[in-house]
Copies of this chain bind each other. A is one copy, B any other.
Amino acid sequence: MRGLISTAHINPSYKPMPTMTTTVIHKLVVIGVGLIGGSFALALREAGRVQHITGIGRSRENMRRALALGEIDEIADNIESALKDAELVFLAVPVGQTGEIMAQISAYLAPSTIVTDAGSTKQEVVAAARSHLAPHLKNFVPGHPVAGAERSGAGAANADLFRGKNVVLTPLEETSREATQKVTELWEACGARISRMSANRHDEILAAVSHLPHVLAFALMNHVVSAGADGSNDAHDNDLLRFAGSGFRDSTRIAGSSPEMWRDICLGNRKALLNQIDAYQKELTVMREMLSDGDGDALERLFARARNAREHWLKSLPG
């Protein structure tokens, strides 16, 4: 399960280009210097792959922290000057804001400037690029580092965030092989395992292993709150939660995620997520029927299948 092997697994036709030179970015512009943007900057700097990093962000305080932490070399005064001579632009903003940002930067992008992003859903980002970056698609490389974390903001960034993590790139037909190769090299320099696939396939996969589990966790938390003896929203007065243990805590951990971010992700990947919810409901209904029939053997087989698959999966993880 190393990067290119797993890539081959996804897309047998893909062969990495032999890398003659080491890519060093002279000017990197990070738009949104939070956990992801800041960590990308720190990792590239540590790998000696970048000379100058300009940061753009909404929160002045967060940008000052990013500067103090060495994640960026300067805070941009305005987009035009920030993008001047930029070799790579990294969009690390909530996926819901991607289109708006693209609209703001498109006029100032030099033809040679490569643009990549870190959005959690890709078909939506590709659609936004088609509407706002049309002349620039050959240098647009959609990407998604699959590296969540509870914490956010420049203060949470660290150079090792992407080490051993999956980064999925979903190049468009228009995207040049060179642009994709350069972004691939930079993510590899961050220690990530790179895969390439269609935006559609990415969204299907993430709907199953990330978006669905989040919805299930939000629903479980709300269900238990509603089922609480006094129907109170206050966990202090909830008989059920008083008896919830570590299993429940882990099952609902991702229900602590940002409601705003997950609203955008769910809406951004609505079709694939609806399919996943429907398929999951079917799976759950099968178990429900076995239970209703008192078919202990069938239940035990399904439980054992789940446990075995999980053990296989855990063994297959790197490190």
Seen from chain A, the residues whose Cβ lies within 8 Å of a Cβ on chain B are 1, 6, 9-10, 146-148, 165-166, 168, 195, 205-206, 208-210, 212-227, 233-236, 238-257, 259-260, 262-264, 266-267, 270, 273-274, 276-281, 283-285, 287-288, 291-292, 294, 296, 299-316
A-B contact pairs, 22 of them (CB 8 A): A6-B242, A148-B246, A195-B243, A208-B227, A213-B247, A216-B220, A218-B287, A219-B284, A223-B283, A225-B309, A235-B309, A235-B313, A252-B306, A255-B310, A259-B307, A260-B300, A263-B296, A270-B292, A270-B294, A274-B291, A278-B288, A281-B284
Of B206, B218, B251, the residue contacting A213 (CB under 8 A) is B251
CB atoms of B276 and A227 under 8 A apart: yes
**Contact B241 A316, beta carbon cutoff 8 Å:** yes
Chain copies in the assembled complex: 2
> Most B CB atoms within 10 A — which of A238, A243, A278, A281?
A243
Identify the interface centre among A239, A253, A284, A313: most chain B CB within 10 Å of its CB. A313
CA distance A109 to B197 in the complex (A): 68
Check if A256 sits within 8 Å of B310, measured CB to CB.
yes
